[in-house]
Amino acid sequence: MTTELFPRPPLSVRTGAELAFALDRGLLTVLYQPVLELGRGGMVAVEALARLRDPTTGRLIGPAEFMPLAEASGIVGRVDRKVAHLAIPRAAAWRRLRSGLPFSVAINVSAHDLQDVGLPDRMSGLASRVGLPMNALVVELTETVLADAGEVQLDVLQRLVALDVNVTLDDFGTGFSSLTHLLTFPVRGIKIDRSFVREVGSGGRGEAITRSLIGLGSDIGVHVVAEGIETPEQLRLLRRYGCRLGQGYLLGRPMPAERITALLSGSSDRIPSPRPASAG
C-alpha cells in the first residue's frame, strides 16, 4: 500500500459496462516489476502487474481499485486472461534476449481463475505458441486462496504443477495454514510478505521472522523472494541472511515492458546496484 500525499481522483470507470468498454479499447496494460538475484544483482524474473488506464484522467490504476468492479460485474476472468495474453509473449521474447540465462514471468492468480478448468490448457497453449517453456512461468497465489481451494481449484493447480509451472505462495506469512500447504502441496516458492521485510534492520520480530523464513525455504528446497525491499540496509541484511531473490522499489518499480526490454538488452543485465546509504 502506498502513502498518498494527495487524495486520488475518483476512478472514472464506474460500471461493469464501462469497464468492459475500457478493456475493449485496450486500456488494460501490464507493468512488470523486476525480481533480482540478490548476490550479483541480475534480473532473473519479472512479476506481471495489471493496471487500468483511466480513460478520463490517464492515471494508471492498480487492481485494488478496479478488481472489485471487475468481480461485481463478472469480468475478472477477462481481465486475468488479458494479463496472461500480454505477459506470456513478452516473457518468451525476454528469454530469447537472455539467450540461455534463466528468466521467468510471475502471474498472479485469483480464486476465480482457479475455478476455470480451461486455465492450464490455455496457458500451456499460449506458452507453446510463443515458445515459452512452462517452467519459466510462475503462478503466484495467496495462502488464503490455497486454503479456500475446493476440489476444482486444487485440480486446476495440480494440472499446472504437472505442466511444470512454478506455484508460489504470495504475501507469505499473512494467510492461513501456510506450513500445512508447504507439507501437502508441491509449492516451489514463497514470497515473504513486505510487512516482515519492512522490519529488517530494525531488529523487530519481522526481521527474525524474515530470517526464519529464508532458512525454512532453503531447508525445504523452495525459492524464497523477499518482497518490498525499499532500503539499502534491508538489501544488505537480506544478502547476509542468505536470501537469494528479492523485489521492491529499491531494486525496480513496476515498469512498462519497453523498460524491461531496454534493461535486458543493455550492456549489462544488471540494474545499477543501489549504493549503500552514505553518511552525509
Q: Does 49 bind ligand G (CB under 6 A)?
A: yes
Strand partners, 167: 139
Q: Which residue is nearest to ligand G (CB)?
A: 248
Supply the minimum distance, in Å, between the C-beta of residue 108 and ligand G. 5
Q: Does 248 bind ligand G (CB under 6 A)?
A: yes
Phi and psi at residue 48, to the nearest 5°? -85, 125
Q: Which is nearer to ligand G, 3 or 267 (CB)?
A: 3
Are the beta carbons of 104 and 136 closer than 8 angstroms?
yes
Residues from 51 through 110 that contact ligand G (CB under 6 A): 62, 108
Q: ∠ CA 244-249-166 to the nearest 5 degrees? A: 45
Cell of 164: 511444470
Among 65, 116, 155, 230, binds ligand G (CB under 6 A): 230
Q: Which is nearer to Mn ion, 54 or 170 (CB)?
A: 170
Q: Which is nearer to Mn ion, 54 or 140 (CB)?
A: 140
On the CB side of 268, how many CA atoms lie within 13 Å of its CA?
7
- Using the structure block, give the residue that is written with the C-alpha cell 515492458: 257
DSSP helix/strand/coil, 166: strand
Cell of 220: 525445504
> Who's near 103: CB < 8 A, 6+ residues apart?
43, 44, 45, 91, 94, 95, 136, 264
CB under 6 A: which stretch of 6-14, 122-130, 181-189, 222-230 binds ligand G? 222-230
The site string for Mn ion over 62-101 (x = CB under 5 A, - otherwise) reads ----------------------------------------
Strand partners, 33: 47
Q: Does 201 bind ligand G (CB under 6 A)?
A: no
* Residue 279 to residue 11: CA distance in whole angstroms: 42
Q: Does 194 bind ligand G (CB under 6 A)?
A: yes
Q: Does 227 bind ligand G (CB under 6 A)?
A: yes
Residues from 145 through 204 that contact Mn ion (CB under 5 A): 170
Q: Which is nearer to Mn ion, 13 or 91 (CB)?
A: 91
Positions that interact with ligand G (CB under 6 A)? 2, 33, 49, 62, 108, 170-171, 194, 227-228, 230, 248-249, 254
